[in-house]
Amino acid sequence: MKRLLPTPFISIAIAVTWLLLWDSLAPGQLILAAVLAVAIPLVIGGMRGKPMRLRAPGAVLRLLWRVGVDILRGSIDVSQAILGRTSKVKPGFVWIRLDVTHDHAIAALAGIITLTPGTLSAELTEDRGHLLVHALDMGEAEALAHTIKARYESLLLEIFR
């Protein structure tokens, strides 16, 4: 099994993508999806990344919900910042020490930070210990860092245990 499906998550993603693309659940498509899900990771061989294991599906859903809400909420704030007087904006950087160590988790966190309006993950240190975040409206830097760690990183720690 491990040899056939070295990266199960990616295989699932492939199958789902395939079925979405055809917008169909016909038997033929299911077979093809399965074939591709097995074949593609094998074909790309050395180019595939480290296997990724998702635990705690509940945490995944919670994270998705939080991110979704934050995106919507943040968007409005950012819109105000853009539409308003730009000189009022008080931007700034903040380094966040990371507790997650898994590459996928770091990437997910960085992605979430960027997708959530108002913040942007600008750089990861070489040792992957710190993430540089740029905030459009700085407010309290410590609070921002805390929010990020509490709202997202904790869930990610749960997921990428």
Q: Which of residues 126-145 bind another protein (CB under 8 A)?
A: 126, 128, 130, 132, 134, 136, 138, 141-142, 145
* C-beta of residue 96 within 8 angstroms of C-beta of residue 145: yes
Among the listed ranges 53-61, 70-78, 150-158, the one in contact with another protein (CB under 8 A) is: 70-78
**Please, which residues have CB within 8 angstroms of residue 27's CB and are 6 or more apart in sequence?**
none
Burial 95-108 (b: 16+ CB within 10 A, else e): ebebebebebbbeb
Does 47 bind another protein (CB under 8 A)? Our answer is yes
3-class state of residue 135 by DSSP: strand
Pick one of 34, 54, 60, 115: the residue that binds another protein (CB under 8 A). 115
Inter-CA distances, 124 with 63, 94, 129, 133, Å: 22, 12, 8, 9
Does 101 bind another protein (CB under 8 A)? Our answer is no
Does 87 bind another protein (CB under 8 A)? Our answer is yes
Does 78 bind another protein (CB under 8 A)? Our answer is yes
**Distance of closest approach, residue 59 Cβ to another protein, in angstroms:** 19
Does 157 bind another protein (CB under 8 A)? Our answer is no
Pick one of 4, 69, 71, 150: the residue that binds another protein (CB under 8 A). 71
